[in-house]
Amino acid sequence: MNLNTIFLIGPQGSGKGTQARKLAEKLNFFYWEMGGILREVAQEGTELGNTVKNLIDNGILLEDELLLKVVKARLDTIPSGKGVIFDGIPRRIGQAQFLTDYLKKQGRSEFTTLFINLPREASINRLLARAEKQNRKDDTREAIEIRLGFYDRDTVPVLNFLKTQSTFFEIDGQPPVEEVTATINKTLSL
């Protein structure tokens, strides 16, 4: 399997960020964490940053046009020969179409998707625990419910799109981190 572009997708709290970081380190890939990039932009104090901050603080996902402004600028900084792992994008069909088309124009044509599945209540419990540990304002129960609602409405259809555009694997996100990592490594023949 030719690995150069990997999408890690799953509900909030599924451990996709942890697994994406581990996999990026193992493969020496660029780790694209959309949430972190957006939080950086939110701290910049610019008009765009203030808009992003307000949306994040209220648990609202950015509209595609706004998000893709950030994406375009950052994607062009990744060398074409460097593998990349995307965490937190695409979340909507428009993003998925834009991203796969844009990546193909950059010479990346083989995509792999790892879908880390986790039941809704497990997602909520993990996010509430993380909120306590990290004092994250965007992880209130209300904000979590809003984000999971967006996930069900917007991101679940992206999975069907990526099944047609990539080599697609579903991973159970419920076991401990080490077991999920081992499953991913076995799935990707690493």
Q: What is the pLDDT of residues 92-101, one digit of tens each?
A: 899 999 999 9
User: What integer is the mean pLDDT of 107-134?
Assistant: 91
* Distance, C-alpha 74 to centroid of its chain: 15
- Structure token digits, residue 5: 């572009």
- Cβ within 8 Å of residue 150, ≥6 positions away: 60, 61, 91
The predicted-structure confidence for 14-60, as pLDDT tens digits, reads as follows 999 999 999 999 999 999 988 788 888 888 888 888 988 888 888 78
Question: pLDDT value at position 67?
Answer: 85
Q: Which of 6-20, 65-79, 104-118 has the lowest mean pLDDT?
A: 65-79
Strand-pair partners of 86: 7, 32
Question: pLDDT value at position 172?
Answer: 97
- Number of domains into which the chain is organized: 1
- Structure token digits, residue 107: 């010479």
Task: Give whichever of 97-111, 133-147, 153-167 has the largest mean pLDDT.
Answer: 153-167
Question: pLDDT value at position 138?
Answer: 66
- Cβ within 8 Å of residue 139, ≥6 positions away: 127, 128, 130, 131
pTM confidence score: 0.85
**3-state class of 79 per DSSP?**
coil
Query: Which run of H or E residues covers position 143?
Result: helix 141-150
Q: What is the CATH number of the domain that holds 31?
A: 3.40.50.300
Q: Which of 78-82, 112-116, 143-147, 165-169 has the lowest mean pLDDT?
A: 78-82
Distance CA 49, CA 55 (A): 10
For 57, the domain range is 5-187
